Chain A
């Protein structure tokens, strides 16, 4: 498994 990032889940507002 690899580490996900916040940007994988939350888009730019």
Chain B
């Protein structure tokens, strides 16, 4: 028996919205400790890693580990039928399920929707993501980071991110010209202005803005985002989801020819 009930179903809707342009199909692994998912985009440039802890669910039961192979597009179609205030319950009784049941219930418990989504058997290629002590960690407003990426992507396809003890600089060079946006360490009380820099070693890496813009679809999951960088390492962009877990995106940097 597997059953997971989310009090705020809208969070699940937002997660699926955030990853649906990046990955087409995923294996969600359910275990006693919660749900996890890892998937790469078709070009293998970016990787999505989702972890949802059992404690974050209103009800959670998973008697034995199961793998749920899902088409994100089809999952998204079903989740469109859930209201933003609904609870969402995922359920299956089978040991090797061929479908996953969904229950959506509104706050008054006056409307209950039930769907079943056919599952797929997917070859999963799980990569060992090393635990990394990142040499530059930037925590800032997710909306502000999203705005910077969007603005710069009209000038160039790539952005160079360079950290120093005091600031982080986003630089672009394009056909029309060049520019940069520098964000300084700022211990403001207001979330939108606050920028926390933890720089053990400065780094300078270049990334494709197209992917960063896709990651930023997760902006509604968290008011802050953390950018974790080390030389010769993929950028890790993390959105923490309250008590539930985290959605992480990894992006391989541009490398020398």
Listed in ascending order, the chain A residues whose CB lies under 8 Å from chain B are: 1-13
Q: For residue B158, which residues in chain A have a CB less than 8 angstroms away from its CB?
A: 1
B250 an interface residue at 8 Å Cβ cutoff?
A: yes
CA distance A7 to B46 in the complex (A): 10
B61 an interface residue at 8 Å Cβ cutoff?
A: no
Asked if A7 and B44 make an inter-chain contact with CB atoms under 8 angstroms apart, the answer reads: yes
Q: Contacts A3-B208, A5-B43, A5-B45; is A10 near B128 (CB within 8 Å)? A: yes
Asked if A1 and B257 make an inter-chain contact with CB atoms under 8 angstroms apart, the answer reads: yes
Partner of B233, one of A1, A5, A9: A9
Q: Across the A-B interface, how many residue pairs have beta carbons closer than 8 Å?
A: 59
Q: Contacts A12-B125, A12-B127; is A6 near B254 (CB within 8 Å)? A: no
B177 an interface residue at 8 Å Cβ cutoff?
A: no
Asked if B257 and A4 make an inter-chain contact with CB atoms under 8 angstroms apart, the answer reads: no
Asked if A3 and B47 make an inter-chain contact with CB atoms under 8 angstroms apart, the answer reads: no
Q: For residue B250, which residues in chain A have a CB less than 8 angstroms away from its CB?
A: 6, 10
Asked if B126 and A6 make an inter-chain contact with CB atoms under 8 angstroms apart, the answer reads: no
Asked if A10 and B129 make an inter-chain contact with CB atoms under 8 angstroms apart, the answer reads: yes
Q: For residue B252, which residues in chain A have a CB less than 8 angstroms away from its CB?
A: 3-6, 8-9
Asked if A13 and B128 make an inter-chain contact with CB atoms under 8 angstroms apart, the answer reads: yes
Asked if B127 and A11 make an inter-chain contact with CB atoms under 8 angstroms apart, the answer reads: yes
Q: Is the interface of B mostly helix, strand, loop or mixed?
A: loop
Asked if B255 and A10 make an inter-chain contact with CB atoms under 8 angstroms apart, the answer reads: no
Which of chain B's residues has its CB closest to A5's CB?
B44
Asked if B43 and A1 make an inter-chain contact with CB atoms under 8 angstroms apart, the answer reads: no
CA distance A2 to B46 in the complex (A): 15
CA distance A6 to B125 in the complex (A): 12
CA distance A2 to B43 in the complex (A): 13
Q: For residue B44, which residues in chain A have a CB less than 8 angstroms away from its CB?
A: 5-7
Asked if B40 and A6 make an inter-chain contact with CB atoms under 8 angstroms apart, the answer reads: yes
B245 an interface residue at 8 Å Cβ cutoff?
A: no
List the 7 shortest-distance A-B pairs measured between CB atoms, nearest first: A13-B128, A4-B252, A1-B254, A4-B255, A10-B127, A5-B44, A6-B47
Q: For residue A11, which residues in chain B have a CB less than 8 angstroms away from its CB?
A: 127-128
CA distance A2 to B254 in the complex (A): 5
Q: Contacts A1-B254, A1-B257; is A6 near B128 (CB within 8 Å)? A: no
Give min CB distance, B156 to chain A, whole Å: 12
Asked if B234 and A9 make an inter-chain contact with CB atoms under 8 angstroms apart, the answer reads: yes
